Amino acid sequence: MTCPPKRADLARTVINATAVDESNGWWTGLVRDRVHDTGEVRLRLERYPPNNSKNRPEHTWRVRPEYWDSERDAVEMFEQYGGETPTGVLPIDDFYTVKEHLPIRKEPTRRVSLVRLEKNWGQTVTRLYHWDPRDGATKQKWTIGRNWDHLSTLATRKLANAQ
């Protein structure tokens, strides 16, 4: 499997990347990068679309050591027991119908939830969403798909080895 571009944009340098899937031209994997402005090293789940002319991932999820265990555990719990009927406003495109959600974090500048969505033709997907409640802007989203078990195990191992 190939890696994502070594420089997804001018603001970072990719240190290493581990591909997990390249089905239908999409690249999905775990990426460790360094932010140029701050020197911070990050670990992220990234998904690149086919023929990616922007040279940027379509979907990302930052794997933060302080939040990762609760996010990973929430996915497992949501898959087993489901979530709640949605209340309030979630940053979801009108193309989807929100069926249920599981709030993970609620802070003044950050909301994180798992959301089960139904597409117009009835297919359901589960996504992690991170948004800013002040303006409703989605900061990150990640679809929990067939590669989740492999990606989450890999991310957990990388975090353990980094400490």
pLDDT tens for 2-31 read 555 544 456 899 999 999 999 998 999 999
E-only strand ranges, the chain? 12-21, 27-35, 41-48, 59-62, 96-107, 110-119, 124-132, 137-143
Closest CA to 114 of 156, 69, 75, 73: 75
Residue spans per domain, the chain: 12-62, 68-143
User: Whole-prediction pTM value?
Assistant: 0.87
pLDDT tens for 129-145 read 999 999 989 999 999 99
Q: At 92, is the pLDDT very low, low, confident or very high (cuts 50, 70, 90)?
A: confident
Q: How far is it, in rounded angstroms, from Cα 67 to Cα 111? A: 12
Q: Are 41 and 71 in contact (CB under 8 A)?
A: no
Q: What H or E segment, with its residue span, contains residue 154? A: helix 148-162
Q: At 128, is the pLDDT very low, low, confident or very high (cuts 50, 70, 90)?
A: very high
Query: What's the confidence (pLDDT) of residue 89?
Result: 73
Q: What is the mean pLDDT of the chain?
A: 89
pLDDT tens for 61-91 read 999 999 999 999 999 999 999 999 887 778 8
pLDDT for residue 100 is more than 80: yes
Query: What's the confidence (pLDDT) of residue 8?
Result: 47
pLDDT for residue 1 is more than 50: no
Query: What's the confidence (pLDDT) of residue 93?
Result: 84
Query: What's the confidence (pLDDT) of residue 47?
Result: 94
